[in-house]
């Protein structure tokens, strides 16, 4: 089966080649081969335990692959640490919300921006005019990231006071603050009501329009089918299908393993 790619002659930004992850005798990922173009919104679906989150963990350096390679924008990611991969342009969110609940939304985003700041110790200690100007710019940038996910009006609120859906959007703002080329979203719609899901759909489309590629793990099939251009399906750690939403919806192997006869899981 050829690598999963779209866009004609468009360059692939992420390429996985025979990627495997084993935990002892448990083969969580087995020879996953896929490639994703520089622009687009792509989905990864499959039953619980299919290896989806492990795939994200391996791509972002949280876990080391047992075999295979990961290439991103011409760089081999194997052996890189998570912060090095983030600096190259891959950001992600997690299934479990990981915000600093006692800090404001603005402070949460500023923390995520810390790796891109370039302040001198002397400037920091003396509070120079140059440092203060840089600090103002950073606050403005953080507010803009919050604005992208519709949370700028709550910038000074404590993150822990947000409803669940807004905390998930705050996580996206923090990921954007790292300046990604590719954004990995792990079940971003989990726990959201229908209104929140529609807002999230709109926000992801805007991110795509701004030039950021998006790769989504999601169990809500209506959400995936509405927003994703193409979808990769995992089952028992292996790719069993790749294609457009229409192709996936009608794929016999996917129906058998995951979607069911009504195409909605």
pLDDT tens, position by position, 106-143:
999 999 887 555 544 445 555 666 667 777 888 999 99
What pTM does this model have?
A: 0.85
More confident residue, 6 or 109: 109
Residue 133: half-sphere exposure toward Cβ, Cα within 13 Å: 3
Tens-place pLDDT, residues 158-204? 999 999 889 999 999 999 999 999 999 999 998 889 999 999 999 99
Q: Helices marked H in the chain — which ranges? A: 52-59, 82-88, 105-113, 121-126, 129-148, 164-176, 194-209, 221-227, 245-249, 252-254
Residue 34 pLDDT greater than 50, yes or no: yes
CATH number of 1-89+181-265: 3.40.50.300
The pLDDT assigned to 7 comes to 41
Strand order in the sheet with 75-76: 26-37, 12-23, 67-72, 75-76
Q: What are phi and psi of 169, to 5 degrees?
A: -70, -30
The pLDDT assigned to 13 comes to 87
3-state secondary structure at position 241:
strand
Residue 68 pLDDT greater than 90, yes or no: yes
For 226, residues 6+ apart whose C-beta sits below 8 A from its C-beta are 201
In three-state form (DSSP H/G/I as H, E/B as E, the rest C), the secondary structure along 34-57 is: EEEECCCEEEEECCCCCCHHHHHH
Average the pLDDT over 205-215 and give the result: 93
Q: How confident is the model at residue 228 (pLDDT cuts 50, 70, 90)?
A: very high
């Amino acid at each position: 089966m050829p690598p999963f790619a779209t866009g004609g002659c468009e360059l692939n930004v992420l390429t996985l080649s025979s990627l495997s992850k084993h935990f002892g005798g448990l083969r969580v990922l087995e020879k996953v081969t896929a490639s994703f173009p520089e622009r687009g919104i792509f989905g990864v679906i499959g039953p619980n335990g299919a290896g989806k989150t492990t795939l994200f963990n391996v791509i972002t350096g949280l876990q080391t692959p047992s075999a295979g390679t990961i290439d991103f924008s011409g760089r081999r990611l194997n052996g890189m640490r998570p912060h090095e991969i983030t600096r190259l342009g891959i950001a992600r969110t997690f299934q479990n919300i990981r915000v600093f609940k006692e800090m404001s939304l603005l402070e949460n985003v500023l923390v995520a921006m810390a790796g891109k700041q370039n302040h001198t110790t002397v400037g920091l200690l003396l509070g120079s005019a140059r440092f203060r100007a840089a600090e103002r710019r950073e606050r403005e940038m953080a507010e803009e990231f919050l604005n992208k996910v519709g949370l700028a009006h709550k910038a000074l609120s404590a993150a822990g006071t947000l409803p669940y859906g807004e905390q998930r959007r705050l996580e996206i703002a923090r990921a954007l603050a790292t300046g990604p080329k590719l954004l990995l979203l792990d079940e971003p719609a989990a726990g959201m009501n229908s209104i929140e899901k529609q807002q999230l759909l709109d926000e992801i489309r805007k991110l795509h329009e701004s030039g950021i590629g998006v790769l989504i793990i999601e169990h809500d099939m209506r959400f995936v089918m509405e927003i994703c251009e193409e979808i990769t399906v995992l089952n028992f750690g292996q790719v069993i299908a790749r294609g457009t939403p229409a192709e996936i919806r009608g794929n016999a192997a996917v129906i058998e393993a995951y979607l069911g006869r009504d195409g909605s899981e």
